[in-house]
Amino acid sequence: TQLLEQSPQFLSIQEGENLTVYCNSSSVFSSLQWYRQEPGEGPVLLVTVVTGGEVKKLKRLTFQFGDARKDSSLHITAAQPGDTGLYLCALEGGADGLTFGKGTHLIIQP
């Protein structure tokens, strides 16, 4: 089973700051998904990255897929309290189910 490592595990910053979280694997993956999960809710898909070196933007969020397709990053510009949540990366598993990382718990303080 391919494992995903996410870092940092926890991050607490002030509103307006920038941040980057990471997702890494020892193996090449064909595509990677990023989710955001709020407390007491299910994960919500943010983006899917497929091509090595790909960059996708979603408002203040920038997602990057590494050239070697073994890593990905999520950068948030000018973080807001509404960005608070658990950020998960995931890839399609062999049994047609997603394999998730442990996530990065992000807190944006006003």
Partner 1 sequence: DTGVSQNPRHKITKRGQNVTFRCDPISEHNRLYWYRQTLGQGPEFLTYFQNEAQLEKSRLLSDRFSAERPKGSFSTLEIQRTEQGDSAMYLCASRSSPTNEKLFFGSGTQLSVL
For partner 1, the binding residues (CB under 8 A) are 31, 40-45, 48, 88, 90, 92-93, 95-103
Shortest separation between residue 91's beta carbon and partner 1, angstroms: 11
Nearer to partner 1, 21 or 88 (CB): 88
Nearer to partner 1, 11 or 98 (CB): 98
| Residues recorded for the chain | 110
Contacts of 14 (CB under 8 A, 6+ apart): 108, 109
Nearer to partner 1, 79 or 88 (CB): 88
Q: Count of CB atoms within 10 A of residue 108's CB?
A: 20
Nearest to 66 by CA among 103, 102, 24: 24
Shortest separation between residue 37's beta carbon and partner 1, angstroms: 8
Angle (CA) 27-32-33 rounded to 5° is 145
Shortest separation between residue 90's beta carbon and partner 1, angstroms: 7
